[in-house]
Amino acid sequence: MPVARPETSDSRIIAHVDMDCFYVQVEQRKQPHLRGQPTAVVQYNSWKGGGLIAVGYEARKDGVKRSMRGDEAKKVCPQIQLVQVPVARGKADLTIYRNAGSEVVSILARKGRCERASIDEVYLDLTEAAETMLKETPIESLESIDEEVLKSHVLGLCLNGKDDKEIVREWLTRRDADHRDKLLACGAFIVAELRLQVLQETEFTCSAGIAHNKMLAKLASGMNKPAQQTIVTLSSVKGLLEPLPIKKMKQLGGKLGSSLQTDLGVNTVGDLLQFSEEKLQDIYGANTGTWLWNIARGISGDEVEGRLLPKSHGSGKTFPGVRALKTLASVEKWLKELCEELSERLQLDLETNKRVAHTLTLHANAYKSTDTDSHKKFPSKSCPLRYGAGKILEDSVKLFQAGLREFLGSYMNPVSGGWGITNLSVSASKIVAAPSGTSSITRYFHGQDRFHTSSEPSDEKFKLEDDKLSPLRTENHSASHQTECGGEQPQVTHDTSSFDRYETTCKDEATEGCLTLQNHEPKPRLPEKEKNINDEKPSYGQKRKATKEKGTSSILRFLQTNSCSSSNQETKCLSSGLQEALDVENESLIESQNNRRASQWRYNIDEIDQSVVEELPPEIQDEVRTWLRPQKQANTVKRGSNIAHYFSPQK
Ligand code: TTP
């Protein structure tokens, strides 16, 4: 459900950075001979050449589209290079793309608060950096302006195709400009510099939108691609929004958007303007009504969250058509693969980032062969997460059984068939910092113990015959809101129950559909002075100088030398990804919108589950076992021990 948040200020400077044909660029970096060639990345399923999940800009010029399969792409562009997505455990393995996304995030985070929104998208709050620049290095005093900044698209500015750069220069350096426009101009310099740094350090190009809020920045980032940036001035907001199809707006791709169309005849954002806030509140409730009224006017108070790591991890696979899973055994087989992958990623997150996840959720898309109730969705189920692939699998199987039983209703026996699973995924959310130090690990154990259910006759409780569903505290989630992928990908991808990019094709929908939905009441947000991730704040002039000395070249020049055209023959429509529903497998990081309250930890040594110890690194298992024996030995654990070291932030 959308949350109506008033703008905290209309002079924030927010950027949305979106990588260009991301998977293709990652593959081209890996195989440089592909650079400049029409290239596409195809999914794991190779039927008809595999569904395209990423299409390079050279291939787009030849008419290749993401909705095509490899065979069709070869027909329209015979010289196309098709690269298959890496595979592990019989499914797509996105690790290489995830890691590439992390490289980019670490660079973008240098200038302000940074929120990793999907595998290839980032929001930046550059307000402080822009204000500093305005104070210390006013643009009108700059002698030369980098080409990359002059190439910016300024919405509302009339260009003639001849001296566009001069017109942009004039706009950037206007002495009498509104303060907010001056800040936007500073934002354009900062973003151009960041994009050049990304190019130099990773070889990837990206595009960006620069605006006063997240919603507008996101709308703009896809308007001029690849390797370009677009500025949304306050005066251009009305013209930008009015003609936009309502369904293209984030969070309006689903039922709410459909209701606006059918119930109110609202087809564009401009159509919404005729309704008063009270009227919209009457129809959709106070929060959603206000939110709708606001977005029609370009108002959105969403803050950029300081978060460089994903909010959740997920592993999923789709089983389209005849590949649908029709037996409990086949579901279990695939759950094993998914749970192993999820467990590995959780372990890596614990080791690398010292984070632990608290909630396990299972999503599925299903059908009944004798469908009497075609609208019924497979309910997503959650329970506390226990570490270790075996436990995750055990719990996932139980969650699946509970969900299936609910989906089928009491009159159908799951064992006798009559159902099929077309999408299956598991995700881990409610990720928080792992407690550090010896005293904290005890809390960690307590948390694990809390999750542990093996001492209970859980199998019994999960029997499908049993009327009381799960022994685990399962929670239902509306399937329509499963992931950010509301499609972070129907595309193949990002379909709701698949994820990672959460990030939704739905990159947009991703945010619409989420694992856990909570009704948020609109809360006025107070301006928040958050410290930049990078404490170092050299003056803007100094930074630029340093960059220049390193020989910054413009992105345009880089692209030309790499035979990659920067012209935007095929401009990505604002949320084109949303429409291109491919049909296969994808996994994604899920950004769940779970409750973010930190858990309360308590420790009681009697409650420690021995099995948890086995999941710890070998170097600390012995120590913990000693600790678990007679309680008098518990004191042998000292601060600075191996355990403390294991969880210490320095590790
Ligand atoms: P997008 O940002 O939607 O697209 P893109 O980066 O390929 O191209 P553009 O320049 O137009 O932004 O998606 C980012 C990556 O996510 C994409 O390279 C591949 C992956 N993806 C899927 O796996 N399935 C999908 O359905 C979509 C839309 C993307």
Residue 16 in contact with ligand 1 by CB distance below 6 A: no
pLDDT at residue 621 in the model: 44
Q: What is the pLDDT of residue 203?
A: 97
pTM of this prediction? 0.69
Ligand 1 geometric centre to CA of 577 (Å): 7
Is residue 21 in contact with ligand 1, taking CB distance under 6 Å?
yes
C-alpha of residue 510 to centroid of ligand 1, in Å: 13
**pLDDT computed for residue 499 by the predictor:** 29
Distance in Å, CA 46 to ligand 1 centroid? 19
CA-to-CA separations, 600 to 351, 450, 603, in angstroms, rounded: 22, 11, 10
Mean pLDDT by 10 residues, the chain (651 residues): 72 97 98 98 87 97 96 97 94 94 97 95 97 91 91 92 90 94 97 98 98 97 97 96 94 94 96 96 95 95 92 92 93 97 96 95 91 76 97 97 90 78 96 70 44 33 29 42 30 29 28 26 32 36 36 48 38 28 32 30 35 42 45 35 32 29
48: left (phi over 0), alpha (psi -120 to 50) or beta: left
Contact 27, 83 (CB under 8 A): yes
**Could you give the number of structural domains in the chain?**
4
Please report whether residue 484 resides in a domain.
yes
Residues 71 and 183 in one domain: no
Provide the CA 264 distance to its chain's centre, in angstroms. 31
Whether residues 153 and 86 fall in one domain: no
- The response to whether residue 227 sits with its C-beta less than 6 Å from ligand 1 reads no
Q: 376 with 427, same domain? A: yes
For residues 433 and 486, state if they share a domain: yes
The confidence score (pLDDT) of residue 450 equals 39
Flag whether 150 is in a domain: yes
Which pLDDT does position 201 carry in this prediction?
A: 98
Residues 318 and 455 in one domain: yes
Are 51 and 112 within one domain? Answer: no
Q: Are residues 67 and 161 in the same domain?
A: no
Taking the CA atoms of residue 331, residue 337, residue 342 and residue 345 in that order, the dihedral angle to the nearest 10 degrees is -170
Does residue 527 form part of some domain?
no
Spatial neighbors of 176 by CB under 8 A, at least 6 apart, are none
- Residue 515: per-residue pLDDT: 23
- DSSP assigned state of 474: -
Containing structural domain, residue 625: 566-651
The pLDDT of residue 530: 34
**What H or E segment, with its residue span, contains residue 359?**
strand 355-368
Stated as kind and residue range, the H or E segment containing 117 is strand 113-118
In-domain check, residue 540: no
Q: pLDDT value at position 44?
A: 78
Alpha-carbon distance values, 489 to 39, 498, 503 (Å): 21, 7, 8
Q: What is the CATH number of the domain that holds 219?
A: 3.30.70.270
**Does 626 fall in a domain?**
yes
Q: How big is the CA angle at 138 (ends 134 and 142), to the nearest 5 degrees?
A: 145
| Per-residue model confidence (pLDDT) at position 473 | 42
Same domain, 474 and 356: yes
Within this chain, do residues 366 and 437 fall inside the same structural domain, yes or no? yes
Pocket test for ligand 1, best of 85, 97, 98, 501 (most atoms within 8 A of CB): 501
pLDDT recorded at residue 47: 83
Pair (406, 468) in one structural domain: yes
CATH of the domain at 459: 3.30.1490.100
Catalytic residues: 121
Whether residue 247 has its Cβ less than 6 Å from ligand 1: no
CA nearest ligand 1 atom 10, residue: 20
The domain that holds 67 is classified in CATH as 3.40.1170.60
Domain presence at residue 650: yes
Within a domain: 633: yes
Q: 577 and 476: one domain?
A: no
* Pair (475, 578) in one structural domain: no
**Domain boundary pick from 484, 505, 526:** 505
Distance CA 591, CA 576 (A): 21
Q: Report the C-alpha gap between 482 and 496 in whole angstroms.
A: 6
Task: Determine if ligand 1 sits within 6 Å of the CB of residue 54.
Answer: yes
